[in-house]
């Protein structure tokens, strides 16, 4: 596993292009700013998000992500990336540009405070996904998914999202966008490098694997 991680890190360019993937820099002040977001204000702001993301942050539409239980720092980064056009979505760009940094922090901590999505999906045997999550693929220089996203799909550190319980279609679309270069707001091109090596079937299985992790 160490060899796989070392090879992966060698692929990460020391310098990308002049245009950064995101304008967010996780300084101690930035981390504290998000941490101190106002839950009450976030709850009020989230009332306008229910149509796509559900009343309790659990989306009822497969193409839209569930936000309940997501890392606040990750949600905050995505909102600011949408506002800065570092990530593109016809609806979210227009929504995020109307949010202040404080609004984004308030929303992020509110969604993080909600219980994670739970599903009643019948558990499937997903061998390709299980191998990728636990072992990765040394030949393709893909590290195990758990090393970044956690053994329970809970996410790690500032910008690595929780995946457990996420909507299947949204998950597939996200990895496909990374794979094709449509989405480029991953720092150091981490997910673009990984997704480029994944087959459509592997992406589909990973989506189902993490969806049924919360049942």
Q: Pick from 80, 113, 146: which residue ends a domain?
A: 113
Helix (H, G, I), strand (E, B) or coil at 94: helix
- 100 and 140 in a single domain? The answer is no
Predicted pLDDT at 157: 81
- 38 and 71 in a single domain? The answer is yes
- 204 and 124 in a single domain? The answer is yes
Q: Pick from 113, 135, 157: which residue ends a domain?
A: 113
DSSP of 139-203? TTTB--THHHH-TTS--BTTTB---TT--HHHHHHHHHHHHHTS---SGGGHHHHHHTT--HHHH
Please indicate, yes or no, if residue 19 is contained in any of the structural domains: no
Range of the domain at 131: 2-14+119-211
Q: Rounded to an integer, what distance in angstroms lies between the CA atom of residue 88 and that of residue 185?
A: 9
- pLDDT (tens, 9 = 90+) of the chain, 215 residues, equals 555 555 455 455 444 445 789 999 999 999 999 999 999 999 999 999 999 999 899 999 999 999 999 999 999 999 999 999 999 999 999 999 999 999 999 999 999 999 987 776 677 889 999 999 999 999 998 999 999 999 999 998 888 999 999 999 999 999 999 999 999 999 889 999 999 999 999 999 999 999 998 75
Interaxial angle between packed helices 101-113 and 72-83, expressed in degrees from 0 to 180 and rounded to the nearest 10: 150
Q: Pick from 98, 113, 128: which residue ends a domain?
A: 113
Predicted pLDDT at 15: 42
Q: Rounded to an integer, what distance in angstroms lies between the CA atom of residue 154 and that of residue 69?
A: 9
Q: Is 57 left (phi over 0), alpha (psi -120 to 50) or beta?
A: left
Predicted pLDDT at 1: 56
């Amino acid at each position: 596993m160490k060899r796989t991680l070392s090879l992966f890190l060698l692929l990460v360019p020391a310098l990308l292009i002049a245009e950064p993937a995101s304008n967010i820099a996780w300084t101690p002040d930035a981390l504290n700013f998000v941490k101190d977001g106002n839950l009450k204000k976030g709850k009020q702001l989230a009332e306008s998000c229910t149509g796509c993301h559900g009343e309790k942050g659990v989306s009822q539409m497969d193409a839209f992500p569930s936000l309940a239980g997501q890392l606040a720092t990750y949600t905050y980064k995505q909102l600011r990336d949408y506002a800065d056009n570092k990530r593109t979505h016809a609806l979210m760009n227009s929504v995020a540009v109307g949010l202040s940094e404080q609004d984004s922090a308030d929303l992020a901590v509110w969604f993080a405070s909600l219980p994670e999505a739970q599903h009643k999906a019948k558990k499937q045997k997903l061998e390709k996904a299980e191998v990728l999550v636990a072992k990765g693929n040394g030949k393709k220089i893909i590290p195990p998914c758990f090393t970044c996203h956690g053994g329970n799909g809970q996410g790690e550190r500032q910008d690595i999202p929780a995946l457990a319980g996420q909507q299947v279609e949204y998950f597939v679309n996200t990895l496909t966008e990374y794979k094709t270069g449509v989405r480029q707001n991953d720092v150091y091109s981490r997910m673009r490098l990984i997704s480029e090596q994944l087959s459509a079937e592997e992406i589909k299985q990973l989506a189902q694997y993490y969806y049924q992790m919360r049942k």
